[in-house]
Amino acid sequence: MKVAVIGTGYVGLTTAVSLAVKGHEVLGIDVDAAKIEQLSNGRSPIYEPGLDQVLLETLGQGKIRFSTNLVEAKEAQVVFVCVGTPETEDGEADLRYLHAALQDIATLHNHSPKERTLVIKSTVPVGTGDQAAVSLRHCKELQVVSNPEFLREGCALEDALNPSRIIVGADSEEAIAVMQTLYSGLSAPWVITTRANAELIKYASNAFLAARISFMNELARLSAVLGTDVTVVSHGMGLDSRIGSQFLRAGVGFGGSCFPKDTIALLKLANQHGVTLSLLEKVREVNASQPVWFFNQLVSKIPDLAGKRIAVLGLAFKPDTDDIREAPALRILAELQAAGAVVTAYDPIAAKAVEALFPDVEYVTTPEAAFAGAHAAVLVTEWQACVKLDWKLIKEQMEQPLLFDGRNAWPHDELKKAGFEYLGVGKS
């Protein structure tokens, strides 16, 4: 099929490339001319494992191309909208880019009418798809579908090619048939429902995963007081088939482009309809305080951080991404600097972006260099380069062998035997 994808950010680019891999003819559209030139030359503007290679392959096969001109999409049978919906100052989803894209699509369709399906993949408030269908009702033969994405940063391409489920919100058999043709060959459960249900499935999924994380982080605080090990507790919990093991890891809190903005957007939506989601409010409260709680564990060991050298390992909100949006490391860096600490930081991908926000931090090019002369080291993001280390060498380099494991990823038993003082999150 001939497909156009409006927006070549994280979701849009991954969607475009995955559809090209499946043999569709894909046109990626973006207003950023510099980004389009970069993509046309086979270089991805985002870091995502495997994406650069597949982008080059599909470009070489002629399955994908990029442009700033939506008119070039006049032959497209399916048009995806994958623009950003960031939160506004009051926490609502900002739909300016979505509305602009819909207007452009309406103009294109009216100039080049044909049977066409408009697929909203951006995360939008419940009711947005229905509103779009009403506003575009004058565009004959244009169907509106809600098809939310469930991509995990760090393995987004894999998720796009092997989805856990395909959610399609549509009100016509024709639109459903188009989506089934588009995604033919994918082995995944289908949920065909209304646009509103599809939109809420997306928000509810992210909110529930965020709730699991915050529950484990609260449990970790209790575990730290009781002298129990939250990693053992979570393992025992996860063996229950009713619970499962996913998203039961305690840590320094969630970040990224999805959970923070989607949870606040869902809260705002509920409030607009007179409904209080008190559990979700608590989820956000716990998450906001978790980096500070973790920082206070460091203060309990080093009450006066002024002039102390602290190594921070990992800055992106999770491994295998360069995304620093709402990253817990940012809050921890701010707390360390406010306390007068001398901070040395390492991240294999995200350091440059963080440096623009924290220019006074010393950024190093290897994880080992971060430990040199450190009075303590903090693991915030569990990159493999930050986890698999020569601990004998590290101990020789540190001024004080004090380790704070914000992801419970370091080999604690080994480290304790080697003479390190080790503190994890909720670990005795």
| Residues placed in the known binding site | 30, 35, 85, 123, 150-153, 202, 247-251, 255, 261, 318, 325
**Angle of the 259-272 helix axis to the 195-226 helix axis, nearest 10:** 120
Q: Which residues contact 280 (CB under 8 A, 6 or more apart)?
A: 207, 210, 211, 263, 266, 267, 270
Which spans in 278-390 are helix H? 278-301, 328-338, 351-355, 367-371, 384-387
Binding residues for substrate: 150-153, 202, 247-251, 255, 318
* Cα distances (Å, whole numbers) of residue 329 to 57, 312, 383: 35, 8, 13
In order of 143, 246, 262, 278, 425, the CA distances from 209 in angstroms are: 32, 9, 11, 16, 19
Angle between helices 195-226 and 230-238 (to 10 degrees): 140
The DSSP element (H or E) to which 362 belongs, if any, is strand 362-363
- Give the active site residue among 82, 139, 155, 258: 258
The single residue listed with the structure tokens 């979505």 is: 98
Is 258 a residue of the active site?
yes
Which value, in Å, is the radius of gyration of the alpha carbons in the chain? 23
Q: Which residues are catalytic?
A: 258
